Structure 1
């Protein structure tokens, strides 16, 4: 069987569509910022080269029709001075003869017209340089002036611009990602609140969801849920009507059958019919009990959907009222029915809890046997209300206890008539009240103790 794929995350999908474009936009923004910032920096450094060229053009002179460069050693040193880069210059005459500076640099003269400027990259003595060439006026002639500078400041400026552009882009991307996360979280908050509201709801709460809290785009989903809740409420009403009708229709013929079979046993009859009448009466009793338990189970499940609220139930009073109905059957079964009642209260439905107690007492009466001692206890323990019914009968085999809560299952040690629905009804009613039932060994490791733990009610 193929494993089920996990459901896609709406939050993750929204974040992906918002954040993934940043993977493309951040490099583009970095490149754009780099281009916008690095060019002005390079232009500024190029202007510094033109300053040196202009200074050389001011020194350049013409004597007797020949261009001369009256440049002192101190001036030449000053023109080459730089804390970071190596600065080299070369000045030639119209015939290409060197008037001052580096001959190797003059060899890269691009032969410009008078007044023209050109910036270019080149190599000088195997080193990359940024160069500027200028066609300077020297009398009636045009003399080339070239100034070259190594790339130290340019490389440092480019690195600084790259780091600044990348830093700004990453900071912007992080801010946008954070804002996207916050925006998605705030956008999905109504859905989360609606989901939490549904999780908190039990089968007793089928009121419509407040659609005004949902975004317009998912309000249709909330409306569909409200329609479903409405259909469930209608189904609960139909189930309740059916159960009431079924209870009425079944109770009368079964009661007649029980009464007629009991009277037939009491009245004179042929001996050969006695065993048959006993079986008929036992089947009628079992059918009446089974129909009562099935209807109780169905009504309990219907009550889970129908119940709007619950009352504070005093378990001591509940057991006291039930005692009158069970003392006489216990005496008839030859059992000693006792009570150990301490204050305990819970929130719930009184009729459901009475059915729970009736099933426990009926089970004890049917299976504990004659001479058994049956004790009903109530108390408060660990913040919970506890109801126990304990007997010293044969009990339930430990191997059967796990399945004792299954419907229609009867243990290997079960004796007497039974339907296998008593304990499942007990567990179901306990769970409807947000509690649970457990099976324990009876006194001196004999018998059975059914302990029901329910939330404690504070009165």
Structure 2
């Protein structure tokens, strides 16, 4: 068996609800048919006993007609009595009286061919028999017919009533047992659903939890789930402490990383301003560029850590137009210093999100434009709405990214095959991560006209919920 097959086999497990239903239904599937068989047998045997008793009453009626005259046994049966003995609305009834010597006194002589055993006085015998291809229920009775004399009375009838009764019993018992099985199955499902409902509610509550909601669970649950609730509450407490420690670490790391890099950048700037050997200026420029890249990389790494630490629960109502305006205050001077022409076409774009993460997203995209769009780039920032989505776009007139490289460009530490800048390959990856955390879309598109790259962020409009 291959590893994939083993993995698939391990995944084919039953849920708790399915297991409970199976364990409830297996006894039902065994017990209900068994109960049906027992019920059918009891009702069948009881009904057959009543029918046999009716058949026996006919034999008793015939025995009451036996007389002894002048030492001879006779049967006092008139035509009306004979019709009464044979009357049945469903079956044909036969009877036969044999004298003590076994000779036919009266009745249907063909019954003698059944060769039923002789009975003692008032002794019964019932059996199923076949005569001339016809199935019969036969009864034999020993009857006293004079001093010391014993006659045999045979009575038989066809099986029409018995067959109809058997069919009715099968139908009634089948409907009864089927209804009982459905009722028990429904009751089992309902009991399982109601019994597991607290667990489903707990699962739904846990699904909505994040690092912003780590307060203890307060569900009113059965006693069996209370240890689980207590375990989750202890876990939330540990997560709360770990999250607080992580936030403290991020704050300290940001300070510890940025302070020496800022100091080193200042020292390099001062060295470039003061009189110095012209031969050292290229070295100082390279150091300045390396410090800038290191500071940018540290900022991006901290942004990744902070984005992963921040839960979605910190979202607030905001407008992408305001996000772009806030970022413009910091990036317009940088763009002008780099010789870039930056324009803003801002319309209201309400959304839900975390403003600091969205500012970081836009900053990363603008940094990429300045770094890769070539000398004197033209950059346009737009915000607006498209149906149920609020969008923010950044477009430049640089070389762009080839369509086959765009998916790779969104992965961390990956760059397009024709990239000529000095970036680390984190900017677009961080932006894509932030968009995903906001349940939005982050796309790399062609410029609206001419060469270049258009980066689009789409977020659900405020009040709209989109999956994906």
Length-normalised TM-score, structure 2:
0.90
Give the equivalent residue in structure 2 for 1:164: 172
Q: Distance in 2 between matches of 1:88 and 1:311?
A: 97
Cα 1:61/1:379, change in 2 over 3 Å: same
Choose the corresponding residue for 2:106, options 96, 100, 108: 100
Aligned to 2:86: 80
Question: 2:47 maps to what in 1?
Answer: 41
The 3-state SS of whatever aligns with 1:370 is: coil
Count of equivalent residues? 456
**Which of 422, 429, 436 is the equivalent residue of 2:427?**
422
Tell me if the contact between 1:314 and 1:344 (Cα under 8 Å) persists in the aligned partners: yes
Select which of 262, 265, 269 maps to 2:272: 265
Corresponding position of 2:308: 301
The answer (yes or no) to whether the contact 1:109–1:144 under 8 Å persists in 2 is no
SS of the residue corresponding to residue 376 of structure 1 reads strand
Q: 1:134 to 1:244 in 2, by over 3 A?
A: same
Tell me which of 107, 117, 122 is aligned to 1:115. 122
* Alignment match, 1:292: 299
Q: Deviations over 1:6-26 (max 9, x none)?
A: 232222222222222233223
TM-superposed deviation, 1:57: 2.1
Residues 129 and 151 of structure 1 are in contact (CA less than 8 Å); yes or no, is this contact kept in structure 2?
yes
CA distance in 2, matches of 1:163, 1:402: 67
Give me the whole-angstrom Cα distance separating, in 2, the residues matched to 1:202 and 1:449.
33
* Paired residues for 1:189-268 under 5 Å: 189-201=197-209, 204-212=212-220, 214-268=221-275
Q: Distance in 1 between matches of 2:33 and 2:463?
A: 64
Equivalence for 2:333: 328
After superposing the two structures, state which structure 1 stretch, 151-160 or 218-227, moved more.
Answer: 218-227
Residues 12, 318 of structure 1: CA spacing in aligned structure 2 closer, same or farther, 3 A cutoff?
closer
Aligned to 2:163: 155
Moved more, 294-303 or 135-144: 135-144
CA distance in 2 between counterparts of 1:124 and 1:7 reads 61
Q: Distance in 2 between matches of 1:174 and 1:384?
A: 49
**What's the CA shift for 1:323?**
2.2
Q: Which ranges in structure 2 are unaligned for 5 or more consecutive residues?
A: none
Q: Is the 8 A contact 1:30 1:162 kept in 2?
A: no
RMSD, matched Cα: 2.4
Residues 1:14 and 2:20 are matched in the alignment: yes
**Whole-Å separation in 2 of the counterparts to 1:206 and 1:96:** 100
Shift of 1:274: 2.1
Question: Unaligned regions of 5+ residues in structure 1, if any?
Answer: none
1:253-299 deviation per Cα after TM superposition (whole angstroms, max 9, x unaligned):
11111111111122222233222222212111111111111112211
- Relative to structure 1, is the Cα distance of residues 317 and 169 closer, same or farther in structure 2, using a 3 angstrom cutoff? closer
Residues 37-89 of structure 1 show CA distances to partners (whole Å, capped at 9, x for unaligned) of 11222122222222222222222111112211132344334322333323221
Indicate the residue corresponding to 2:404 in structure 1. 399
Please give the alpha-carbon distance, in whole angstroms, between the structure 1 residues aligned to 2:133 and 2:296. Answer: 109
Check if 1:386 corresponds to 2:394. Answer: no
The answer for the alignment partner of 2:143 in structure 1 is 136
Distance in 1, matches of 2:154 and 2:60, equals 10
Deviation at 1:200, TM superposition (A): 4.3
> C-alpha offsets along residues 223-259 of structure 1, whole Å, 9 cap, x if unaligned?
4333333322222111111111111111111111111
SS at match of 2:449: helix
**Equivalent residue, structure 2, for 1:179:** 187
